[in-house]
Chain A
Amino acid sequence: MTTLIFTHKACLSHDPGANHPESPARLQAVLDALKSPAFAQCKWHEAPRAVPAQLALVHPGDYAERILAAVPASNGYALDPDTVLSPGSGEAALRAAGALVAAVDAVMAGDGDNAFCAVRPPGHHAEPNRPMGFCVFNNAAIGALHARRNHGLERVAVVDFDVHHGNGTQAMFARDPSLFYASTHQFPYYPGTGAADETGVGNLVNVPLAPFSGSAEFRAAMTDTILPALSAFDPGFIIISAGFDAHQNDPLAQLGLTEADYGWVTAELLQVANQTCAGRVVSTLEGGYDLGALAASVGAHVSALMAFPQA
């Protein structure tokens, strides 16, 4: 298996401020982990900038233009109380979204079997018309819509194991039966959405987890509910919103996963991908705020992407 890694140094220059948990140090920890010899087989690519038509796949009107116009020349500009732009944020956000587009193209072209996008800012809280929760552009949803539009795929799925519900991705997918969104997340919790009865047009699968749930509850949610629904949807491509903040050491939430759980879920998702879409998977970094847990979890995730044998 060849796993591609898409990243860009500009993603280190988005700085929401001192003491903000979504710090450049997160991505640096991820990059440092992926530069260890265990990942020497991965092929690295520089993420291009997303172009306006790609952003407009999920953010209508002048959304992207307004965001980019709000990027300050110095200091910070708060889009919402959680989401702050710095002078480097526009370039970072364009590269983060562009990584998904390029990764989808590369996997479709057979340049690699699957890909991981080591990017920030994250994306899954960004709604069609509203940046929020550290997120500016919805990178995963842009990748999914690009896969459908540019590669003629009929059905595309996003699976999200970040500890927070991906309200943005859900809002973009909820009325479109050719898109599928499944999420495990702490509930009730930020951002408030993600109850089990939020099912869209039968294309949303939300499995809320009570605070202090751990590996057993997470694996049961995947095995009993999400993986069978994903198989039944029969996707042509799978995007993973890979947040690692359900780790037991994460300071922003209260679930109890370990890096072994992230390796496990990655292998399980690849198995469905092999059965439905020739293993075509692109994963992108969402949350994860304990630097050590984040580095170890990304390591387990990317190891599983590299290890899984082609069907």
Chain B
Amino acid sequence: MAKKPPGIAIPKDIAALSFEDALAELDKIVGELESGKVKLNEAIGAYERGAKLKSHCEAKLAEAKAKVEKIVPSADGTVGAESMD
């Protein structure tokens, strides 16, 4: 039986990050894990923060994609965006 990934509850400090800032921090964590700079005792914490950053980045991307999909050509040939609301 595989261990189940924990539910991803995004903490407030991550929720407040822009896509770019979250991706930059995720890059840094992955780099540290890959280069062995993280303590053994803290590796799981680093991994879990990375997973939350990834989840936040994915949510931001999904949001942007939804906005792009809402862009529809109007009858007069101009292109506009529908309100997300």
Residues of A within 8 A of B (CB): 20-21, 81-82, 125, 132-134, 164, 167, 188-193, 211-216, 248, 251-256, 258
Contacts and interface: CB of A to CB of B under 8 A. Distances in A.
B36 A193 contact: yes
A96 to B, nearest CB: 18
Interface size class on chain B is 10 to 19
Interface in B43-70: 43-44, 47
Main secondary structure of the interface of A (DSSP, over half): loop
Contacts of B47: 189, 211, 254
Interface in B1-32: 1-5, 30
A214 B3 CA distance: 7
Interface of B: 1-5, 30, 33-41, 43-44, 47
Given A81-B39, A189-B33, A192-B34, A252 B44 contact: yes
B52 to A, nearest CB: 14
Name which of B5, B38, B40 has the most chain A CB atoms within 10 A of its CB: B40
Contacts of B33: 188-190, 192
Contacts of B38: 190
Contacts of B5: 211-212, 254
A191 B33 CA distance: 7
B30 A133 contact: no
Contacts of A193: 36
Contacts of A133: 40
A251 B42 CA distance: 11
Contacts of A216: 2
Given A21-B41, A82-B41, A211-B47, A190 B36 contact: yes
A21 B2 CA distance: 23
Given A167-B36, A192-B36, A253 B1 contact: no
14 contacts: A81-B39, A81-B41, A82-B39, A82-B40, A190-B36, A192-B33, A213-B2, A214-B2, A214-B3, A248-B2, A248-B3, A254-B5, A254-B44, A256-B3
Given A188-B34, A189-B47, A190-B33, A125 B40 contact: yes
Across chains A and B, which 10 residue pairs bring their CB atoms closest together, nearest first? Answer: A192-B36, A214-B2, A256-B3, A190-B43, A256-B2, A191-B36, A133-B40, A248-B3, A190-B40, A82-B40
Contacts of B30: 188
Given A164-B40, A212-B4, A252-B41, 9 more contacts: A21-B41, A189-B43, A189-B47, A190-B39, A214-B1, A252-B43, A253-B43, A253-B44, A254-B47
A255 B2 CA distance: 7
Contacts of A215: 1-2
A252 B40 contact: yes
Contacts of B39: 81-82, 190
Nearest to B4: A212
A216 B40 CA distance: 25
B35 to A, nearest CB: 5
Nearest to B5: A212
A132 B36 CA distance: 11
